[in-house]
Amino acid sequence: MVVNVVYGDEIFQVKEPETVEEAVEGADVNPETVIVEMEGKVVSLEERIEGDEEIKLINVVSGG
């Protein structure tokens, strides 16, 4: 199972993450700095991932 993590213009492929948090960390992004959406809805970092999902990260840190 592979999860596509979309962050700005970049897409990271993360293998076998069990949770959203693991997918974010797998893309080398600090979970403290993003909000995560799956299928257009905000999800918590604890959300479990079961299939080939795509998740979108929204940067919440000021100044880029």
Binding site residues, other proteins, CB under 8 A: 30-35, 42-48, 50, 58-64
Query: What's the closest the beta carbon of residue 17 comes to other proteins, in angstroms?
Result: 14
Compare residues 2 and 58 and give the one whose CB is closer to other proteins: 58
Give the position of tokens 């929204």: 58
Query: What's the closest the beta carbon of residue 5 comes to other proteins, in angstroms?
Result: 17
Query: What's the closest the beta carbon of residue 59 comes to other proteins, in angstroms?
Result: 7
**Distance, CA of 34 to CA of 30 (rounded, Å):** 7
- H helical segments located in the chain: 20-26
